[in-house]
Amino acid sequence: IPALKIENLSKVYGNDFEALKGISLEVEQGDFFALLGPNGAGKSTTIGIVCSLVSKSGGSVHVHGVDIDEDFPAAKKFIGIVPQEFNFNQFEKTFDILVNQGGYYGLPNALARERAEKYLKALGLWDKRDTQSRMLSGGMKRRLMIARALVHEPKLLILDEPTAGVDIEMRRSMWDFLQTINAQGTTIILTTHYLEEAEALCRNIAIINHGNIVENTSIRDLLKQL
């Protein structure tokens, strides 16, 4: 079963703006997949629909074989999402943010606390466990979002422009971290507008422009064409 299967997905904003014009793509379990495209191409809309943050106008989405229209709660358990914008409770401490996220996914409190510790440590934030999220630097907030997305140990991690605005050193360490969890079996999909990022990390790629998939291939074959 594919980790993600999108068929003929469309999105119309307002009366007639077609942000997605019937796109289809499949991401295999274990893949490291890039959705590459310029600003405004439809990347965030696609991800938003997969996570049910955005309604779709047509088509279907299956996550590990589960139709999101039929059973979103079941599909949601498979997905961890790292959005582009910081959406934390600014006054909550980082540890509590992760514990609450675990609760949101139905983890017993003891397990949620264990996972909060595990992922704060994994992302280098353990010494910030009692810090309110508003006090963190931009790079730390981004790492906190990744930690939060992993607390329920999803099979599929989706990141929307994870390294936009991140300095080079931080980008490298985030790349290393993502490669490690991919090697441990987590399927990863990221959106990016940097080909170099897709090239450095991903196995397969779909290129989206003006709401259409214009290329869907392996990175290796794409680079041969250039």
| Positions in the binding site for ligand ADP (CB under 6 A) | 13-14, 17, 19, 37, 39-45, 81, 83, 87, 100-101, 104, 148-149
- Name the residue nearer to ligand ADP (CB basis): 13 or 172: 13
Tell me how far, at minimum, the Cβ of 141 lies from ligand ADP, in Å.
Answer: 13
Q: Which residues contact 127 (CB under 8 A, 6 or more apart)?
A: none
Query: Closest approach of Cβ 169 to ligand ADP, in Å?
Result: 25
The H-or-E segment that residue 205 falls in is strand 204-209
183 vs 214 by CB, closer to ligand ADP? 214
Min CB(65)–ligand ADP separation in Å: 22
Which residue, 65 or 106, is less far from ligand ADP as judged by CB?
106
Contact, 181 vs 157, CB < 8 A? Answer: yes
Instruction: State the Cα–Cα distance between residues 197 and 207, nearest whole angstrom.
Output: 13
Over its C-alpha atoms, the chain yields an Rg (Å, rounded) of 17
Minimum distance of ligand ADP from residue 224's CB (angstroms): 25
At closest approach, how far in Å is the CB of 88 from ligand ADP? 7
Choice between 165 and 172, CB closer to ligand ADP: 165
Q: How far apart (Å, rounded) are the C-alpha atoms in residues 218 and 32?
A: 10
Helix (H) or strand (E) holding 223: helix 219-225
Angle between helices 109-122 and 138-150 (to 10 degrees): 140
Residue 39 or 224 with smaller CB distance to ligand ADP: 39
Q: Could you report how far apart the first and last alpha carbons of the chain are, in Å?
A: 32
